[in-house]
Amino acid sequence: MLQFSAPMLIGNVLMQFYNVADTYVVGNFLGTKALAAVGASGPVIFALVSFIIGIANGCTIIIAQYFGAKNLNKVQSAVDTVIIFVLVAAFLIMLIGLLLCEPLLRLVNTPADVIDGARTFYYVSMVGIIPLFGVNVLGSVLQGTGDSKTPLYYLIFSSALNILLLLLFVPVLHYGIAGAAWATVFAQTVTVVVMTAWLNRRHPFIHIAFHPRHFDFDIFRKSVRIGLPNGIQHALIAVGMMALLRIVNMFNSDVLAAYSIAGRIESLASAPAMTFSAAIAAFVGQNVGAHKFDRVSDGLKATLGISILVSAVISLLVVVFRHTVMGWFTTGEELNVIEVGSRYLLIIAPFYAVFSTLFVYNGVMRGAGDTLFPMFTTLLSLWLIRIPFASVMSRYIGTDGIWWAIPIGWCLGAACAMGYYRLGKWKNKGVVNNGQLTMDN
């Protein structure tokens, strides 16, 4: 697990490091209002793309199970199917997103003093939806075949190019908040082109094709069965982030800026948990495809041990250095932004191990093809706990009420996921048997 997840972890940290670098440049060169604008548009953009990425992940789970069953022809068919689906879906999402910009930003109560910047960042990001999908899906396809190093190399390339363009467009050419968004779009576009060329010329059994005749409806049907709950889960998370953002925006743009900065720091701190979840999903997918269920239990124990240890160290570092880190992303004059963000990190950071446990158990379910229960876990922890608690508690204890609702939801979700795993029903959810698609479970 360490050998497989280490490149993925480095890649995720690099990806989140770009987000942190983006926040640093915007906060220090464009100011708090621009930072709040990026924070206001981010959850809205994620809400538009999350559902499709969730369904696409259903294909990558099938890829992992076919690879474990050593059926390389079906691996290629699954790759063709997911690529064609994602291209069509990304184009539709781009059109829908461009039309709904204003209503969505108004829906989350975007403060009047940042809405112009949020609109600019949103429009440019929508133009880059197709390469955004491409980078994520191509990396997931390779991880499904057990290759976590190649996506890392391309992520390093993409992140480095992204940061260079960011420094060129914002401090040098003074393109403002639009320049920050265009840097990401250009970097991801170049990465998709280079990655596709490499797969078609060098990879031993995966090639990218766009002809409709390569679309396998049986595989797509199974992918939807697996990926639809995952897509709904992603959508629930995304809409939940919008609901939480709406509550945050009831305060002021300083709180929104603090929430944006602290969220970037948290995304970096939670990168190991996300990585270990993706690693155990690929690991479980391959072993379920090969009918080696005893290795699933061993992999879970190893992954939990590693992730909890890493999370504990990160929690300690974030709590101790929270004020210093928050200060990196402002000009030093926004003391209220630093104080609010530091309070957020103080409340959230001690629960990173719980967050990691939740994601590792959900990774096991997804890898086994049982994506329905993680969806219910998300529904319970987010919509029945976090959002209502944040709404009510924020009226009595201010922003602390929003922050405390987050770990309360994590704790309940982790408890449910652990209990469901012990029931063992996930063992009967695999979609590949002897290298062929099984009937619906």
Q: What is the dihedral of CA 304, 305, 309, 314, to 10 degrees?
A: -20
Q: State the pLDDT at residue 319.
A: 94
Higher pLDDT, 300 or 144: 300
pLDDT tens-digit readout, 144-180:
787 878 888 888 898 889 889 999 999 999 999 999 9
Average pLDDT score over residue span 224-251: 81
What pLDDT shows up at residue 51? 76
Of all residues in the chain, the percent with pLDDT exceeding 90 is 30
Please state the φ and ψ torsions of residue 436, each to the nearest 5 degrees.
-120, 160
Tell me which residue of 426, 421, 432 sits closest to 290, measured CA to CA. Answer: 432
Give pLDDT, residue 79.
87
Residue 213 has pLDDT above 70, yes or no: no
Reported as a pLDDT band with limits 50, 70 and 90, residue 188 is very high
pLDDT exceeding 70 applies to what percent of the chain?
93
Among 75-79, 331-335, 434-438, which is the least confidently predicted range? 434-438
User: What CA–CA distance (Å, rounded) separates 293 from 285?
Assistant: 10
The 10s digit of each residue's pLDDT in 28-56 is: 888 888 888 888 887 888 877 877 777 77
Residue 71's region, left for phi above 0, alpha for psi from -120 to 50, else beta, is beta
Which pLDDT value is given to residue 58? 65
First to last CA, the chain: 29
C-alpha to C-alpha distance for 88 and 330, rounded to whole angstroms: 40
Residue 20 has pLDDT above 50, yes or no: yes
- CA distances to 208, 283, 438 from 292, rounded to whole Å, are 30, 11, 17
Domain spans of the chain, in order of start: 2-437
Q: pTM score, two decimals?
A: 0.74
115 pLDDT above the threshold of 50: yes
